[in-house]
Structure 1
Amino acid sequence: MDKVNRFIQFNDESVETRKLLLYERIAQALSNTPYMKVTERQLIEYQPKEATLAISVFWRHRTEEVTNLGRLSDIYLLSAGFYRQFDLTAWRTFTTDIKPHSYPKLARQLLMLLEEFRMMESIQKSRAGTQRAFKVRRDIYAEFHRDRLLSNAQRGFLADALINQLYLDIHIGMTSSPHDVFDRLPIDRVRQVAQRIFETETTSQSASLAFQIIALVEEFLTGDIVLPLYTFGEAFEDGKPMKQSSKAMESEEQGESDVKETIEEEFRTWHRETEEEKGMHLEFDLQHGTEGASDASDSKPGNEDAEVQSFGTGRSEGNEKEIGAQPEIEQQQDQSVEPTLQAGSDYGHAHTQVTFKVMEVANKTDTSSLSTLSAWRINHLPIVRALVTEMKKRLERKRQYKRENLTKGRLSSKLTTMLTDERPKPFYRKQAPSPELDAVFGLLVDGSASMIDKLAETKEAVVLFHDVLRELNVTHEIASYYEDTFEASKEQQPNFFEVMHSFDENRVDSGPAIMNFEAHEDNRDGFAIRWMANQLGNRPEHHKFLLVFSDGEPSAFGYDRNGIIDTAEAVWETEKRGISVVHLFLSSQQPTEDQRELFATMFGNKTASSDSVEEFASQTLRILRKLLAIAVQ
């Protein structure tokens, strides 16, 4: 659906999908975890259930270099540091021991502050290339803590100010006197204890330092931390997973406690359980003769002598006329509908709860639609003929093209090179005949509700696309995609593909089926692109093209926040498979600069737009001409 023209423009943060995908690849490489995802949150954190690392929004609205290096420092810390070196057993013991204390939040923040420094030092020793990013991190955060120290001191947030002071002491050094707000605290002793962080090598040792600092300041503080700076340890604090599979529960009942010692082990356990639970959940096996007592209180034993009181109808291979034959149209519809399938994680992390059906659109329509279809084709006939003739001429030139100066092949009539050249190449070879284009096209048409006001123009553009490829005998498939908003829930999001023309119907006229295209509810673009990419990936043709006709950004259940990123990732994955993805923005008015940037974010430089609905067909023809020219080369 079209959601690009947002009302609150000042809050419309752009999503840097390409950079986010790059950070994701770096995190996967450093952690050796190919399923790792990266997102952006208020503070850096781990989300083990979703196998996700979150970098901080702290680095936004800075220079491009600082933003990039700052985000990289988050990635280094999370994927190369805490991921393997943070001792979860020591952390859980620490959080249990501090509960009786008066300031548990301060204790947690202290431990994370000390561990952050230990991780930074460890990573820089093993990976010298990270030093530049960590230098930027240290400088920017030092400036941040200086400002926060003054602010917290003025407001009387003594515990928060202590964290700010200790960060500066550890990372910058005790080059200046502490703030006057610490006059009541044994601050010199605290700073000396904090300097022992240079000698720590484990999480347990950092925890010991945190306990010593708490013991020194506990009786002088008046309140706990108000504005925490670290949250990523909370996901592993109690050691209990948020959800357990039946296998894990059985192991726990048998006394087989599997305590995870590192964040890596926690992530892999979550991933393993998720993989075990995914599958074709909506495909059921019919079981006959199941034994067991009935739950019904009014059940009666069977009686073979009882008379038949009613007849039921159903599909069978028997005589349909005797029991009530199914109408022919209803049979055709039933045959065209595939079973409901579960997407799982094969179609992207954002679509694990998606179910989908693939349906064939009936290739017949009413008289009025046929009349409109005929009028369109009469209008398109000259341009279709011109494009087909142009492509056939290019194919003929390619067939007759002769490659010369070869070391083997047919002997050329120009033999003077045998005398003049030191290494003569007097042979040539004709190009292999190319009677047909070695290409295949897949067209996805947005079936969301926002397409209602431009249905006729979209159908005309799709008909033109279909007629050109049919005349050139180029294999193609056309399908609309949408999500059922009213049936979508957290547990299940039903999606549908309505196929108007399939790869197997090469020369079939599917114009009537295209005229039956209708608008429905939402659109899940990343999922649809992966689905069509799988269809194209199995094709033998050399040139593969995937076209997407849509009128706005993705919008579906739970898909608003990550739809743009997921679509960009789907396009990147598809391009990596050798399939070119091209996008046409269908709009009734000229696109704005924000809209152009949005589609460039999702589809790169392979996106086009039309200034009005009347130009859909001409833009489609222009795109098709360029892609066919590529296939002819």
Structure 2
Amino acid sequence: MASVNRFIQFNNETIDTKLLHQMEMLAGALADAPYLKVTTRKLIEFRPSEASVSISVFWRHRPKTIERNGYLSDVYLLSAGYWRHFNIKAWLRFKGAAAELPNLKEQLLLCAEEFRLIEKISKERPGTAQAFTIRESVYVDYHWDQYRQNRQKGFLADAFLNAAFLRLRGEEVPDSEAFEPLFFLWTALFDARSTADSAAVVERVLPRLEYMLESDTVHTYYTFGETADKAPPYRYHEGIEPEEESREEEIETIEEWFQSWHRETEISEAPAMEYELERGDSSYAEGGREDEGSGDIQQTAKGDSRGDHQEDNDATDQRMDSEPKKAAGKFGAANDGVVYTEKRIEASKDQRAVIEGWRRKQAPYVRALLRELKKRMTQRRQDVRHNLNAGRLSRNLLPLLIEERPKPFYRKTAPSKELDAVFSLLIDGSASMIDKLDETKQAVLLFHDVLRGLNVPHDIVLFYEDAYEASDAAQPNYFEWMHKLEDGSRDHAEEIVSMEAHEDNRDGFAIRWMTDRINKRPEKHRFMLVFSDGEPSAYNYAENGVVDTANAVSEAKKQGIEVLHLFLSSEPTTDEQAAFYRMMYGNKSVSADSLEQFVEQTLRLLKRTLHLVIQSG
């Protein structure tokens, strides 16, 4: 797990997840493509294989108004401009023609298309004018600065591109007499109505540029992203006949290009999954099947006994959960390649003395909290509230005659004897937790003992990703159970003490996985606690991991699950770290400023949430 407080301060980039989520929702709405994701990269670009468009980090570290409007202008350009009004066929024909200055050639066309599309969007959607005005103002200053630097360094191709941008905005560019005949041709872009028109203008300018310039551009100001002739992969598997003819289609717009990738992904995954379900095969299962007959369905069942057969149930549980499963789009697009395994943690049998020592130390806190909560529950069942406007009608009806505004009703609070709540605890199992394991185990043990004492169902799970086995093809993730909801009040202290630190952490995936599990529960109050000591860090899960985690928390809250976060730190928490975690978890993130505070903060979280459950019971 990467630390939020990095050594090189200028690398300590954080992203406003709420803002990026807003941009993603806007892009999806403008493009009428709910599957569309928004990421950040150096320049705006298209990445259909990831179903994403990228807005530019050019707008970072600027005043908030400029930053927000800059991102908005990128989204408008990508999803309301290029999406339907940029012609792929014209672009491919243009790129396919031989050229001595290929980089300058492509960047000139993208510069011309940006100008054309901004004009088009501004007329069709007047509400975009402010964002584009700010965009143009900032970029004019930027290209002026770049023009001066490129002239000074002798990068004439780059200088021409800067000057071409400025001339389209009505700027007079000094020291550009040699380029004036080209600018006369260049201004024909004011009449361009399509990508083909823009390409024709660039093609008229290019031969003269190739005669005048000795080298291509050094810098990149415009990029398209993935190559437009890159076709979506077709995935064959046994039992499905290829239908090449059905895949041949003319793609003219970026919208069609993205849809072909999106459609092909859905089509290729669906029959493959269906085939695996029908055959019962899994490429990830160990050993495979010996023959067709071994795949016959066997009836199995698991009881909730707390008697002599519980060990047998655990063994069955271990066998059932050991087979890896595919995320396959179920837990967020950033986790499509995840393959996850659920299993019971292997309990260490020689830790009884350690457990007893920790429990002796925690016993006063546990007893006090249980006593307080049970007292509140008893009061809640016994309290009767009189003089109400609604409720049960009292036997004393005299107030109806003698009072101007009588309140003859009463209400007796009588909740169920057990708390109508369910808790889940997700524990970050990344390598950076290794120096905090003992304190974390004690906090988890306290969590376990308090909820057992109240007979509240709860999950305790360690989550991590195997960094050494992760690749583009698959990212193995593991959930190690210490206690399951189905275990009731069984004591799993040995399992808690047996947890170990591993490699990486994919927080957004773990939260979505647990959300899916809690959603199946009938309890009224549902809480998820996340113990972690840093930001998400996994394979291809850097900046997008922060966004994915924030979105996962937001989705859980919308489904009625309260997500709480405890930041575990061996040093005092900085304002920057606190702001970073609020960005992902909102105001439900608290921190332990020292190792000694882990148990104290866990106790405080439990006390606060359980009080809420009792009060609303």
Settle same-fold status: TM greater than 0.5: yes
- Aligned match of 2:563: 581
1:612 partner SS = coil
- Of 353, 356, 359, which residue of structure 1 is paired with 2:340? 356
Q: CA deviation at 1:50?
A: 0.6
Q: How does 1:534-549 map to 2 (within 5 A)?
A: 534-549=516-531
- Aligned match of 1:159: 157
Structure 1 window deviating more from structure 2 (65-74 vs 220-229): it is 220-229
- Of 292, 312, 331, which residue of structure 2 is paired with 1:347? 331
1:219 partner SS = helix
Q: Render the CA deviation track for 1:390-440: whole Å, top value 9, x for unaligned.
A: 222333343324375435642463654567658x66434333433222211
Q: CA deviation at 1:339?
A: 1.8
Which blocks of at least 5 consecutive residues in structure 2 are unaligned?
277-281, 301-310
Amino acid of the structure 1 residue aligned with 2:520: N
Distance 2:323 2:419 in 1: 34
* 2:5 and 2:12 in contact (8 A); partners too: no
Q: CA deviation at 1:622?
A: 0.5
Distance 1:240 1:4 in 2: 37
Q: CA deviation at 1:110?
A: 2.2
Q: How does 1:119-134 map to 2 (within 5 A)?
A: 119-134=117-132
* 1:483 and 1:496 in contact (8 A); partners too: yes
1:226 to 1:522, Cα distance in 2 relative to 1, 3 A:
closer
Structure 1 window deviating more from structure 2 (104-113 vs 536-545): it is 104-113
* 2:21 and 2:551 in contact (8 A); partners too: yes
Q: What TM-score does the superposition give when structure 2 sets the normalisation length?
A: 0.87
Q: Render the CA deviation track for 1:113-136: whole Å, top value 9, x for unaligned.
A: 221122112222222221110000
Q: CA deviation at 1:44?
A: 0.9
Name the count of aligned residue pairs: 586
1:488 to 1:255, Cα distance in 2 relative to 1, 3 A:
closer
Q: CA deviation at 1:69?
A: 0.7
- Aligned match of 1:551: 533
- Aligned match of 1:79: 79
Distance 1:439 1:133 in 2: 47
Distance 1:631 1:533 in 2: 19
Distance 2:85 2:290 in 1: 50
1:359 to 1:154, Cα distance in 2 relative to 1, 3 A:
same
Distance 1:65 1:249 in 2: 54
1:474 to 1:140, Cα distance in 2 relative to 1, 3 A:
same
Structure 1 window deviating more from structure 2 (447-456 vs 500-509): it is 447-456
Amino acid of the structure 2 residue aligned with 1:537: N
1:94 to 1:553, Cα distance in 2 relative to 1, 3 A:
same
1:510 and 2:492 correspond: yes
Which blocks of at least 5 consecutive residues in structure 1 are unaligned?
291-314, 318-326
- Of 413, 430, 443, which residue of structure 1 is paired with 2:396? 413
- Aligned match of 1:200: 192
Distance 2:142 2:499 in 1: 56
2:212 partner SS = coil
* 1:282 and 1:342 in contact (8 A); partners too: no
- Of 393, 396, 417, which residue of structure 1 is paired with 2:375? 393
1:401 to 1:108, Cα distance in 2 relative to 1, 3 A:
farther
- Of 180, 184, 187, which residue of structure 1 is paired with 2:175? 180
Q: Render the CA deviation track for 1:554-587: whole Å, top value 9, x for unaligned.
A: 2333334433332222222222222111111223
- Aligned match of 1:69: 69
Amino acid of the structure 2 residue aligned with 1:231: T
Q: CA deviation at 1:47?
A: 0.9
Distance 2:485 2:502 in 1: 24
* 2:325 and 2:340 in contact (8 A); partners too: yes
- Aligned match of 2:262: 271
Q: CA deviation at 1:276?
A: 3.6
* 2:77 and 2:117 in contact (8 A); partners too: yes
Q: CA deviation at 1:463?
A: 1.2
1:184 partner SS = helix
- Aligned match of 2:463: 481
Q: How does 1:198-277 map to 2 (within 5 A)?
A: 198-215=190-207, 217-232=209-224, 235-237=226-228, 239-241=229-231, 243-246=233-236, 250-252=242-244, 254=245, 257-277=248-268
- Aligned match of 2:25: 25
Q: CA deviation at 1:525?
A: 1.6
1:504 partner SS = helix
Structure 1 window deviating more from structure 2 (11-20 vs 329-338): it is 329-338
* 2:508 and 2:545 in contact (8 A); partners too: yes
2:587 partner SS = coil
1:353 to 1:255, Cα distance in 2 relative to 1, 3 A:
closer
- Aligned match of 1:501: 483
Q: Render the CA deviation track for 1:139-188: whole Å, top value 9, x for unaligned.
A: 111111222222223333333323222322222x25x3x4223x234x2x
Q: CA deviation at 1:217?
A: 4.5
1:111 to 1:436, Cα distance in 2 relative to 1, 3 A:
same
Amino acid of the structure 1 residue aligned with 2:142: F
Structure 1 window deviating more from structure 2 (9-18 vs 531-540): it is 9-18
1:86 to 1:133, Cα distance in 2 relative to 1, 3 A:
same
